[in-house]
Structure 1
Amino acid sequence: MKLPHHHRYGYSDIASRADFNWPGGRRLAVYLGLNAEVFAYGSGLGAELAPGGPQPDVLNYAWRDYGNRVGLPRLREMFDRLGLPCTVLANSAVYTECPGLIESFRARGDEIAGHGRSNAERQGILTEAEETALIAEATATLAEQEGRAPAGWLGPWISQSAVTPDLLHEAGYSYVLDWCHDDQPVWMTTRTGRILSVPYPQELNDIPQIVARKREAREFAEMIRDAFDLMLAESARRPLVMGIALHGYLMGQAHRAGPLEEALRYMQERGGDRVWFTTAGAIAEAFADRP
């Protein structure tokens, strides 16, 4: 029996790989993936606080909009207090829908990565021509606004077609976050070269845990601490990447922000000089010369 395969990368046991260090001799790279997303009013996709009624679904639309108006600013102020960078995963429509929001993270020196046009749509269901156009449109907006093209991409809803890695490489991207299959970066083949898969969390991600599994902030924060403790211990044997995925309308809520801040402070205090608090793009750059 031969199973269908993506042919993007081969199998590799993480315990058998060659050792290396992150910059400064550090062993565990930690980054915060902060999703800045906008949604269509009265149509399209969107996470739900409660089962939505007929459109316009004001309950869920307004809940998501809270994330951009209050939640993300609250998290930005938290990161300022902690002195932590983040990778902002930005829908390109955020620039027009929420003027000044992405700019405030740019002013902090945060990385701005591509995250499609909006989270009201999936790219993986499009034709190749349509997906190419979506990537081009989102990339052009970020390049114009930020003064340089983004290096990394996370698809809206982590949606990929069979050719998405090819299209991203051809559009100039050096890394992708959609493939959540490892604790180290992994090179993926494309039809015109290779693109790096940087680990993005599906478990330490507030949408699957809070929306899907109905866990709350203190349990999510405990998961972050537990993962950090184990990965910090494992990093003595092999370098690792730990990502934490956040959304303003979830962990930016007033009753959830406190436990998150406690978990991040715990990581800072316990990690010492073994931990590199960084961005997904810096991780990709540090790994770029590895085979």
Structure 2
Amino acid sequence: MSASPPVPPLPTHGRYDYHPIRGRPVYDWPGGKRLAVYLGVNLEHFAFGTGLGAELAPAGPQPDVLNYAWRDYGNRVGIWRMIDMFDQLRLPASVLVNSAIYGYCPEVMDAFRARGDEVLGHGRSNSERQGVLDEVSERQLIEETTATIAAAEGAAPRGWLGPWISQSHATPDLLAEAGYGYLLDWCQDDQPIWFSTRDKGRILSLPYPQELNDIPAIVARKDSAEQFAAMIIDQFDEMLEQSASGPLVMGIALHPYIVGQPYRLRHLRRALTHIATRRDAVWITTAGAIAAHVERLPQGIVPGS
């Protein structure tokens, strides 16, 4: 039998190697739990009359009042209803914030600060993508975002999610060099893994969902509020069973202008109540607490370490 021809290598990112989830070292989250759950709450501000933005309806000529006002509802109304719900259910949040929020509606950040929630960098505005910038401009975007958050919160953020999940080839390197410990842009795993960065550095990649995310689900796939809530419940129940064999991370990505709409909020409350009632069995936490726990684990436990 003749040997198979060699498979030519494909271009790769060079950030991590392939490690199947089966057979990895097993570790626990605090309290001996195996499933960690966090809420990624996206606080975003958009330029009026220009730039990018999710659309409730196909955009018309600028100024696109319909879609701008729909997004602005999230900061004026939706986020406040969500904060009330988080308080009622005693749920922490990982707040992914455009730094423009601090100039537009600082009261929102005051409310999250009073709750003691984690704040992560999410670029300057979701009117732009960072991945299309040259390295100098991208570094400036990261520095500007970080400085604004640090000035308001008293400490620089440790985590980052790019606006529109946008990265250049250098983004992990620039984040590590700016002092970030973890990023959320990649959805390739259910466990945290280490990315290699230049100059023999590294940065942690935490699971951030693109399925359990209201923009792809509701805006792109046109799933209903009831379907989105059912997705959350089914994901939670299935991952809780799967976590018997090893630690898992379940993120839920939320945008106030979408799930902050009253009829969607009611279904979201049902789903989050389902999770909150099982807090004895799971670790309901923040992305930053997950990263901090992983950073303390012995070398070799986490892929890429």
Please indicate the TM-score interval, normalised by the length of the shorter structure.
over 0.9
2:91 touches 2:276 (CA, 8 Å); kept in 1?
Answer: no
Q: Which runs of 5 or more residues in structure 1 are unaligned?
A: none
Q: Distance in 1 between matches of 2:18 and 2:113?
A: 37
1:59 aligns with 2:52: no
Superposed CA RMSD in Å reads 0.7
* Alignment match, 2:219: 211
SS in structure 1 of the partner of residue 99 of structure 2: coil
Candidates 233, 236, 242, aligned match of 1:225:
233
- After superposition, the C-alpha distances for 1:118-171 in whole angstroms (9 at most, x for unaligned) are 000000000000000000000000000000000000000000000000000000
Give the TM-score, by structure 1 length: 0.99
Residue correspondence of structure 1 range 106-255 to structure 2 within 5 A: 106-192=113-199, 193-255=201-263
* Alignment match, 2:97: 90
1:104 aligns with 2:104: no
Name the aligned partner's letter for residue 274 of structure 2.
Y
Give the TM-score, by structure 2 length: 0.94
- After superposition, the C-alpha distances for 1:150-209 in whole angstroms (9 at most, x for unaligned) are 000000000000000000000000000001110000000001311000100000000000
Q: Distance in 2 between matches of 1:88 and 1:242?
A: 16
1:26 aligns with 2:43: no
1:71 touches 1:248 (CA, 8 Å); kept in 2?
Answer: yes
1:25 touches 1:274 (CA, 8 Å); kept in 2?
Answer: no
Q: Which runs of 5 or more residues in structure 2 are unaligned?
A: 1-7, 300-305
Identity score, percent: 64
1:272 CA displacement: 4.2
SS in structure 2 of the partner of residue 30 of structure 1: strand
1:70 aligns with 2:58: no
Q: Distance in 2 between matches of 1:99 and 1:158?
A: 24
Aligned residues between the structures: 290
- Structure ID, larger Rg: 2
* Alignment match, 2:303: none
* Alignment match, 2:54: 47
Q: Distance in 1 between matches of 2:279 and 2:244?
A: 13
